[in-house]
Amino acid sequence: MSRMDEELESPWTPEVFQSFIDRLGPPQQAALAVLVTRRHVTDEELRKALKVSGNQALAGVLSGISKQAAALGIPARAIFGFENLRNAGKRRSTYSVADKFLQIATDMNWPSPPGEERI
């Protein structure tokens, strides 16, 4: 993440993290689970993992994450970042999990390993 991100105070406490996760729908939780597990993904990889057909549907999922974060006073960049790239005239986006979000997710053992879902 950027140096500016490192200088910001982390908004994440176990309580805030759990409240945030509980506010998310299944597609948003799935998107974050992919980011936490893989750290960096392309738009194509994220669409495939979420089983959405296009970037507009993917944008809807990511917008839901941003809206729930904003409702808690947390900037979206405290959760994930993205970069748009062009190669041979084709646009491609890459997404990465924010360091402090990754840390709290790891501390909270989220997402749960398969077969160990929380009740």
pLDDT in tens, 40-83: 999 999 999 999 989 899 999 999 999 999 999 999 999 999 99
pTM of the model: 0.84
Cα separation of 7 and 1, whole Å?
Answer: 11
Per residue in 12-44, pLDDT tens?
999 999 999 999 999 999 999 999 999 999 999
Question: b or e along 81-109 (b: 16 or more beta carbons within 10 Å of the residue's beta carbon)?
Answer: beeeeeeeeeeebbbbbbebbbebbeeee
> Which of 21, 38, 18 has the alpha carbon at shortest distance from 95?
38
